Amino acid sequence: MAMATLIKLAGQLPPGQMVFFRSFFAIVPIAVYLLVTRQFTEAWKTDRPLSHVLRGLVGVTAMGLGFFGLTRLPLPDAIAIGYARPLLTVVLGAVILGEVVRRYRWGAVIVGLIGVMIISWPNLQLVRGGGDAGQALGAVATFIGALFAAFAFVLVRRLVDTEKTTTIVLYFSITASTIALFTVPFGWHALTWEQAAALIGAGFFGGFGQILLTQSYRYAETSTIAPFEYASVVLSIVIGIFLFAEYPSLATLVGSAIVVASGIFIIYREHRLGLERGKARPVTPPHG
């Protein structure tokens, strides 16, 4: 949440420029963590460099679209629409990875996407009413960014079969920084010191957040962690009101509740199915 707030405080800058600062300065806390835990040398070892590049390309696209939307939408709207990612991950997991998705989860995905539409609709209607098109573009960009983020998550699922988590995190920050540099010819803005500080801070918080999230998944299940992640929707409303004077609309509140409930239901179902699969495994009797 701190990263998103700082990106929004930096203002409407070129997405590639924001992605570079977020990715490059995230390397600092990640490198410190790897050095302290004595994983720095091991983290560089990979047998799938091209897979990391592909994950970087998809991730940069997702991040750039997300940042574009973040600087053009009210903070609660951008955060809530961004949570379409877990819903879309279910769809892509079924299509790309061949995962079995039963009717309950399909139902939750459909309901959740309806919630996204409820949040987005007032912003999309601004164009029709002759209003500011920036919020409409922001809503569309945020949703497409969530789609790319879901695709990136599917790629990570494939990478974890052979790669360490620290390797994936390190290579993403490096590839994302490099790819973002190619957007310089499209026009980066001269930054004020406030904007530079906000972007550098976003990078540090982004990298630190990746480390904490990685550690949390090491010690707790997804079903335990997810509700804390979704708490950022509530935080975004509080920060939006007090820092940006952005008051959530009824559509945002209703849609956010639907999206969060759908996401938590999907995680709950995955947790239940995991328990059932564990019980169904045959128990091998001890030898001797």
The string of pLDDT tens digits covering residues 139-178 is 999 999 999 999 998 898 888 888 888 899 999 999 999 9
For residue 34, being part of any structural domain is answered with: yes
Q: How many CB atoms lie within 10 A of CB 135?
A: 21
- Global pTM? 0.87
Residue 178 resides in a domain: yes
The pLDDT value recorded for residue 288 is 43
Does residue 129 sit within a domain?
yes
Domain interval for residue 54: 2-274
- What mean pLDDT value characterizes the chain? 86
* Helical (H) or strand (E) element with 32: helix 27-36
Quote the number of domains for the chain. Answer: 1
Is 221 strand, coil or helix? coil
Widest pairwise Cα distance in the chain? 80
Residues 15/67, Cβ–Cβ less than 8 Å: yes
pLDDT at 17 over 90: yes
172 within a domain of the structure (yes/no): yes
Which region holds residue 220: left if phi is over 0, alpha if psi is between -120 and 50, else beta? beta
| Residue 282 domain-assigned (yes or no) | no
Q: How confident is the model at residue 281 (pLDDT cuts 50, 70, 90)?
A: low
* In the predicted structure, residue 287 carries a pLDDT above the cut 50: no
| Residues 145 and 62 sit within 8 Å (Cβ to Cβ) | yes
Domain for residue 35, yes or no? yes
Residue 108 lies in a domain: yes
pLDDT tens for 203-214 read 999 998 888 876
Q: Does 226 have pLDDT greater than 70?
A: no
Q: What is the band of 274 on the pLDDT scale with cuts at 50, 70, 90?
A: low
Residue 285 lies in a domain: no
